[in-house]
Structure 1
Amino acid sequence: MSKTNNEFFETQVLGHPSGLFVLFFTEMWERFSFYGMRALLVLFLVSALGIGGWDWPRENALALYGTYLALLYLTPIIGGTLADKYLGNRKAIIIGAIIMTLGHASMAIESNPFFLYLGLGLLVIGTGFFKPNMSSFISILYQDFPEKKDGAYTIFYMGVNAGAFLGIMLCGYLGETLGWGWGFGLAGIFMLLGLLQFTLAQGIFGEAGSKPNKVDKTIETDDHSKIEDKLNPFTLIDKLLIVIVATLGLTWIINDPLSKIGGVNFLEFGGTDYSSQTIIITLILFLYLLISRIVRYSEITRDKMIAVVIFAFFIIFFWASFEQAGGSMSIFAKDYTSRILSGNSALIFNIIDIIITVVPIAIITWVLFLLFKQTFKKYFLSNLILGFSFVLIWAIVIWKIYNNFNTYSYEISYNTYQVTEKNSEGIESTKTFAITAETKIPENATIVENNTVIRSSNDFVKSDEISIIDIDKKGVKFKYLTEDKASEINTSIKASIIRKKENEIEIPATWFLILNSLFIIAFAPLFSKWWESKYNPKPANKYAIGLFFLGIGFAFLAFGSSGIPQGAKTASVSIIWLILAFLFHTLGELCVSPVGLSYVSKLVPARMIAFMFGVWYLALAIGNKASGQMGAMIDDITAKYDISTFFLIFTFVPMIIGVIAFLLNPVLKKLMHGVK
């Protein structure tokens, strides 16, 4: 055993090396920044110009969202390869963290499109360096202690979920309450703090991860014996096909939002859009490449690789539906869900929100204290930065709690004008318009006083004159504007305070996204017990169960939105449907997540492992891109049918694929040749 490994295991926190918790907090802040930004992206893009959004069509926003997620799963293939051959894990992590910090800083300048696109690009590149090397770094550190590896990964992934939970809650809250730039900026601040904390504590890892990894050309079987793989080199045709498929696939992924948003279509020739043909040809070439590689192996090896391909097929459909969370489900939370609570409901929600905010942070702060006791003197600066991070977190949380209890609802009145118009069939209809600073009232218009409700931390009294803005230009929801802001916006509306309404709150649309992390933390121990019991399902059955849970979650949304009329852009359905949807989606994720990459490493021969990991990440990329493509149909389907029909698609598709997974279980069991 190396001296460096002995040093790594010298100091203990909760039965594990202190160095593991350096990685825990580094990953936590990275996930904080990623999920915090992800929670805001689509909402920012579709929100009205008057509140700092870009007022994009939902289709455009979801196209960009899907492309961003897809690219996040492609760049780790490159970043992991560069780390293995040239950089080493630690340098790759630091490079990735620096690039991601710059990306978040760029996105904080959200009013300029160039900086938003630059920020997304930098985040994609930085994630490619950071993400694959954090997980593999733990494997390197624990290579002499395989019996401790499962526990180490469990703690590490608690950091992932803690970061996701805090990032969505705090970045989302600041973004929706103070402004989008505050949310994007906070994500960048914690990415920077995570980078500094990791960089200054590197000595705790000894020499581990500082040099490129030596690639082992063998694969470990279930009995831990080593078997040599027959040489099966990539031919010139293989390499040529990889380049063609990668080029065409990336072009299609990037071209999709570019053609919708920028009007630039790289796949249009002679006035005809060849996007569909391009992706079909790309998939055919890729399948040929995959099949031609697989058939060159022996029968048993070939069978195992076919099993991996089938699992990858299932994963496409799972993530295409699951990733609606940050897309169409965020839009549903914003526009179709009743997020206003009053009276006892408001008080109960505030108490629950405080508990689920404070308790997890208190537990993580306790872990931080244990780490301080072991490493504070030796790694003073790193711990100082980590301590400052938590002081900042607690300050934001205390401000959030204070702000929630000191923000009031006011009933206000404002003037509108009504005009009566005839359509082409001679049928009369009355339309109502808000009166803004730039409004020219028609001569035949009738002035009508309307009432609505706004929320503000200002303490107004009856008859106070204020300025408001119609958030979504639908005459449904309004926001208070300071006089400075109102003077800059021509669409501001003059209003008057009627009365203060007590005990009324508005749940931020981003709040619902924290439920996934919360449910994972709550249910993961139960699922872990399930997997260790004699009732542990077969791999294909786990996929089937996960897909069924996913479909059930969307069934709740379909049922809850069944009363929303065709073409409606807004509604006020109960929050219970979103809560139930996130619960069952999380249960589905807990079924699918244990099966993934571990089976790739067990089933695939060594010489093909990099290629098959690439196939797996490609499946994830396709699934995430498909989430944006399918989510972008929300307006068309809502207009032609209704939003309940939109969610029914995501109910039936996963369930049908789940049935297929269940039926294929005997076939997969045979293909896996006893691998468990």
Structure 2
Amino acid sequence: MSDVNKQQVVDSVPQKGFFGHPKGLFTLFFTEFWERFSYYGMRAILVFYMYYEVSKGGLGFDEATALAIMSIYGSLVYMSGIIGGWLADRVFGSSKAIFYGGVLIMIGHIVLAIPNSVPLLFVSMGLIVLGTGLLKPNVSNVVGEMYAESDNRRDSGFSVFYMSINLGGFISPLIVGGLQTSYGFHWGFATAAIGMFIGLVVFVLTKKKNLGLAGTVVGNPLSADEKKTTIKIFAISAVIIAIIVAIAIMMGWLTLKSFVTVVAVLGVLIPICYFVTMYRSKKTTDVERSRLLAYIPLFIAAVMFWSIQEQTSTVLATYADKRTQLDFMGIHIAPAWFQSLNPLFIIALSPVFAAIWLKLGNRQPIIPRKFSLGLLFAGLSFLVILIPSYFGGENALVSPLWLVLSYFIIVVGELFLSPVGLSATTKLAPAAFSAQTMSLWFLSNAAAQAINAILVQFYSPDTEMIYFGVIGGVSIALGVILFIMGPKIQSFMKGVL
């Protein structure tokens, strides 16, 4: 462990200067804003890029393949947070991880801007996966480092930070989607690269003055012997993986279906391994072990929630493109624009939720019950889609207002669960695994999208009623169970509120 403790990090950060929050929140707010601008702008048009015909500027994939690839891509983006969290905790700290990640993301978008190349599509995906794994968990972890454990501004601060994510996510589909419609996909992808570059500039120019020691401390640095062992393990693992992949290609085993299955299994196994490793570590105290046990049902709830929410870029994107009336009140709606609805509603409602938590103080619902409400609203957002399908049939175009309503409902659920989950993760994390625990939080999204890669292949206009009904119903049922178990789970948190 570093000689610098958590309170010394807090003391090094100017505690006022950004809407009553630490000054460093300005740096992290705008770094994350531009990173999310680049990611959500790219994501808003990527599935269309894959399944649109070549004559329309796409790659000509079949729709089911495009949906599966999109889900796997999303899963790997969040799964790579394991690497970023480990490197931050054990090698170079969160601040350097954020910078290196931003550079990789920017290069990935530049590669994606090169027209009509399937190989470059996958190269760009690889770069963005690695870059997001470095940046995403660590920028959130640094937000948590700026607040003392007893600071009741923490949940409010994460709500403000969460608004930056969604401000970028709101603007980018409108701009990138408009550029794609008018000038082609690659102008949209190039704009995403520019966004990440601006984010890097903001981070580099303001971090020294605003962040103090936050992000610079290596929580559990590798010893000299551990470094040698780690290098050997990575080298041997790389060789073994290369051999397995080569054999799989030669034998014809490496197919999309097999890859989806492997990622889905990893999406479940990796979090389990993480929980076991942290729980059994000698560096984890008894109190921290109890808190990890409390974290497990929250993690499961998050997987269910993200499974629904992340289908906005797959199933609901296709629903917007093919099942929705896009000429509405004299306006032609680009399908990508619907993906601005989620962040738009979050921007509108985040200040409301932040104010509510501050107003309620110690009287606000306990963390597990906030999660249960998130699951309830997520389930309702899918059940709403059943209504136009039931009355209109599988071939009729539905009013875009149904999608608007669905997005609004899930945003309410997201604000009960996601910023609260970020905050709870920083409070429940063992000290020696702080960045890695944040990576574990993002693994809930990875697991959800890995599962989605299988689920989305069952979606079609013929199966809409069953698809939305079953998934929505399961989410509501889990929400009820979590609400009932809430006080018992809270007791394992050992004082964390």
Pairwise TM-score range, normalised by the shorter structure: 0.7 to 0.9
Task: Note if 1:516 corresponds to 2:337.
Answer: no
Aligned pairs for 1:100-499 within 5 A: 100-140=105-145, 152-205=157-210, 208=213, 211-215=216-220, 265-266=253-254, 287=272, 290=275, 294=279, 302-341=289-328, 345-346=329-330
Alpha carbons of structure 1 residues 612 and 153: separation in structure 2 relative to 1, 3 Å: closer
Task: Note if 1:617 corresponds to 2:442.
Answer: yes
TM-score (norm 1): 0.61
Distance 2:286 2:89 in 1: 30
SS across alignment from 2:390: coil
RMSD: 4.1
Alpha carbons of structure 1 residues 339 and 275: separation in structure 2 relative to 1, 3 Å: closer
Residues 123-156 of structure 1: per-residue CA shift (max 9 Å, x gap): 1111122223323334455669957656654443
Alpha carbons of structure 1 residues 664 and 21: separation in structure 2 relative to 1, 3 Å: closer
SS across alignment from 1:591: helix
Alpha carbons of structure 1 residues 282 and 320: separation in structure 2 relative to 1, 3 Å: closer
Contact 2:75 2:449 in 1 (8 A): yes
Query: What residue is the counterpart of 2:464 in the other structure?
Result: 643
Residues 388-413 of structure 1: per-residue CA shift (max 9 Å, x gap): xxxxxxxxxxxxxxxxxxxxxxxxxx
Alpha carbons of structure 1 residues 132 and 618: separation in structure 2 relative to 1, 3 Å: closer
Query: What residue is the counterpart of 2:379 in the other structure?
Result: 551
Q: For 1:582, which of 407, 412, 415 is the aligned residue? A: 407
Amino acid aligned to 1:327: T
Contact 1:549 1:585 in 2 (8 A): yes
Give the number of equivalent residue pairs.
Answer: 472
Larger strand proportion of the pair: 1
Contact 2:84 2:134 in 1 (8 A): yes
Distance 1:25 1:277 in 2: 36
Contact 1:79 1:128 in 2 (8 A): yes
Aligned pairs for 1:85-104 within 5 A: 85-104=90-109
Task: Note if 1:46 corresponds to 2:51.
Answer: yes
TM-score (norm 2): 0.81
Alpha carbons of structure 1 residues 327 and 611: separation in structure 2 relative to 1, 3 Å: same
Contact 2:108 2:128 in 1 (8 A): yes
Distance 2:43 2:173 in 1: 8
Distance 1:579 1:335 in 2: 16
Amino acid aligned to 1:633: F
Amino acid aligned to 2:338: F
Distance 1:165 1:273 in 2: 35
SS across alignment from 1:561: helix
Contact 2:13 2:213 in 1 (8 A): no
Contact 1:102 1:122 in 2 (8 A): yes
Alpha carbons of structure 1 residues 14 and 80: separation in structure 2 relative to 1, 3 Å: same
Distance 2:110 2:273 in 1: 42
SS across alignment from 1:82: helix
Which runs of 5 or more residues in structure 1 are unaligned? 217-233, 347-504
Distance 1:594 1:10 in 2: 20
* Shift of residue 634, structure 1, vs aligned partner: 1.1
Identity of aligned residues (%): 30
Amino acid aligned to 2:253: N
Alpha carbons of structure 1 residues 263 and 174: separation in structure 2 relative to 1, 3 Å: farther
- Pair member with larger Rg: 1
Q: For 2:365, which of 522, 537, 543 is the aligned residue? A: 537
SS across alignment from 1:53: coil
